[in-house]
Amino acid sequence: MNEMKKTAISLNVNNETHDIVSNPNKTLLEVLRDDLHLTGTKESCGEGVCGSCTVLIDGAPVRSCLTLAVAAQGKEITTIEGLRAGEKLHPVQEAFVNHHAIQCGFCSPGMILTAYALLKENPTPTEAEIRRAISGNICRCTGYAKIVEAIKSLAEEGR
C-alpha cells in the first residue's frame, strides 16, 4: 500500500472558503458530499460518463468525480446549492420546475448547472446547441424533451 499524507485543502465553494484536512486521493465529489455536506451534487456512474456529479469550476461544467479536491484549490467552485438567491430559486431551476423537466431529480443538479453555464455563455442557444451542451448529462426518467423545452424557454427569453 502506497504512503499517503493528509493535507490541508482550501476550497472556494459558492463564494465561501472551506478549509479541511483530507487525503489527496479524495475527489471533489467526495469532499463536497462527505466533508462539506453539500449533497446536491450526486454520484452515479463514478467514471465521468453520466454527468450527475457536474459542478462548475471557474464557470465551466466539469465532472467532480474525476476532479481531485486538492487540485481544485484556487478555483471558484459552484454547486447546485450556490445557484439560488436565498429562498428564491434561480430562473433555470424555475424553468425546470415549470416545464416538468424533473422526475426522479437525480440528474437535475448536473443538468441545471450545465444549462446555467450554457446560457451564461450563450443566452440564445439553438435547440441543437442545447442538445449538444447537455449531451454529457444522462437522464433515465423524463427523456430529454422536457429538459430541452425548459432550457429553450430561457433561450427565448434571452432573445
Partner 1 sequence: MRLPPFQFLEPTDVEEALSMINTRKETVKIMAGGTDLLNRMRLRLIEPAFVMNISKLRDIDGIDVGETETVIGANTRLKDIARSPLLNKRFRAIGEAAFLVASPTITNMATMGGNLLQNTRCIYYDQSGMVLNGLERCHKRGGTLCLAVKGGKRCFSVYQGDMAPALIAFDARCVLEKKGSTRTVAVTELFTGNGATPFAIGADELLTKIIIPQPKGMFSSAYRKLRLRGSVDYPLASAAAFVSVTKDKEVNACRVVIGAAGASPKVMDGPSNEANWEGMAQKAYEYMEAVDNLQMDGAYRRKMVSVLTKRAIKAAMDRLKEGM
Binding site for partner 1 (CB under 8 A): 1-5, 7, 23-27, 30, 46-49, 51, 54, 60-63, 66-68, 70-71, 74, 114, 132-133, 135-138
Of the two residues 69 and 101, which places its CB atom closer to partner 1 in the complex? Answer: 69
How many Å apart are CA 117 and CA 159, to the nearest integer?
Answer: 17
**What's the closest the beta carbon of residue 98 comes to partner 1, in angstroms?**
25
Nearer CB in complex with partner 1: 26/99: 26
Contacts by residues 33-39 (CB-CB < 8 Å, ≥ 24 positions apart): 36/11, 38/13, 38/14, 38/79, 38/81
Could you tell me the smallest distance in angstroms from the CB atom of residue 87 to partner 1? 29
Q: How far is the CB of 46 from partner 1 (least distance, A)?
A: 6
Cell for 83?
445557484
**Residues facing 18 on adjacent strands:** 11
Place of cell 427523456: 143
